């Protein structure tokens, strides 16, 4: 751990925050993956997909004091809103599973997901603004610094923004699967940023968690990429849902590994 301290200041994170995030990701995974004990077309999977992002948001809020000091209150608020909007995509289906697949429900889900991605983009741009302000004005050296570069933050914000505008645009159109290339482009840009941040992420949560984080982002990108390939075109979304489930499971594993890494680092102090 000591060899990475020069790369990024290690952020103290409560284990409960990481465990809540892990449970949230696993709930999303179970909601996406075909599990025999969940009735097809029932409300259970949609309830899990609704509660999953909410738990991740709760984990973020528990650690909000640390992140507010580093990113600023506005950024934290918008990150929480992004998670809640993603939960809101599935909430109507939890109440009425039969609405799944209808034009109105699909467009509503696209629009809600788009707003969530735009919130994530705004939050990232707020982090960029805070980093710029700290560089422009002398600050207390004890104040937590934002180690990610402007380019890394820009790529994450741009990737989220492309996703946000593409989903809100798709909500207004009678779309074809081939038009999902913009979300794929946005996810690829985020993936590039995450890979470029691997040294910073490793310093925070360890190499195994970093590998699963990158794998999760890659799988999330892949689940949309499948929908623009004619040979994989699945009108019932089964293929992409399975891949998305793997992506969320990778997120859950990454959080578990991060919690274990933090616990081990705490014992070595």
41-63 confidence digits (pLDDT tens): 568 888 999 999 999 999 999 99
Could you give phi then psi for residue 257, rounded to 5 degrees? -65, -35
Chain-centroid distance of CA 58 in Å reads: 14
Q: Could you tell me which residue, 138 or 249, shows the higher pLDDT?
A: 249
What pLDDT shows up at residue 265? Answer: 73
What are the start-end ranges of the H helices in 64-102? 64-71, 73-95
167-180 confidence digits (pLDDT tens): 888 755 555 555 67
Q: How would residue 5 be classed by pLDDT, with cut points 50, 70 and 90? A: very low
- Look-up: residue for tokens 């103290």? 12
Q: Which residues contact 121 (CB under 8 A, 6 or more apart)?
A: 157, 158, 160, 161, 164
What pLDDT shows up at residue 230? Answer: 63
Q: Measured between alpha carbons, how far is 57 from 20 in angstroms, rounded to an integer?
A: 9
DSSP state, 11? P
| Secondary structure class of 149 (helix, strand, coil) | coil
| pTM for this entry | 0.88
Average pLDDT for residues 153-161, to the nearest whole number? 97
């Amino acid at each position: 751990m000591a060899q990475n301290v020069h790369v990024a200041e290690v952020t103290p994170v409560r284990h409960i925050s990481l465990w809540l995030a892990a449970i949230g990701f696993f709930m999303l995974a179970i909601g996406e993956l075909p599990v025999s004990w969940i009735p097809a077309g029932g409300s259970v999977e949609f309830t899990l997909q609704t509660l999953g992002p909410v738990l991740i948001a709760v984990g973020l809020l528990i650690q909000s004091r640390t992140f507010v000091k580093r990113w600023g209150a506005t950024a934290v608020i918008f990150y929480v809103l992004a998670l809640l909007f993603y939960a809101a995509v599935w909430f109507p289906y939890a109440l009425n599973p039969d609405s799944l697949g209808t034009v109105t429900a699909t467009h509503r889900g696209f629009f809600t997901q788009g707003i969530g991605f735009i919130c994530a983009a705004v939050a990232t741009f707020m982090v960029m603004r805070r980093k710029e302000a700290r560089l422009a004005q002398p600050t207390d050296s004890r104040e937590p610094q934002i180690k990610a570069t402007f380019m890394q933050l820009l790529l994450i914000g741009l990737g989220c923004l492309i996703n946000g505008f593409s989903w809100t645009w798709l909500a207004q159109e009678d779309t074809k699967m081939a038009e999902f290339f913009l979300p794929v482009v946005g996810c690829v840009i985020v993936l590039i940023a995450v890979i470029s941040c691997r040294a910073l992420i490793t310093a925070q949560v360890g190499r195994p968690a970093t590998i699963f984080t990158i794998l999760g982002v890659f799988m999330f990108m892949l689940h949309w990429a499948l929908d623009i390939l004619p040979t994989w075109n699945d009108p019932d979304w089964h293929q992409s849902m399975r891949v998305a489930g793997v992506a969320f499971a990778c997120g859950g594993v990454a959080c578990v590994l991060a919690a274990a890494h933090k616990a081990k680092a705490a014992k070595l102090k």
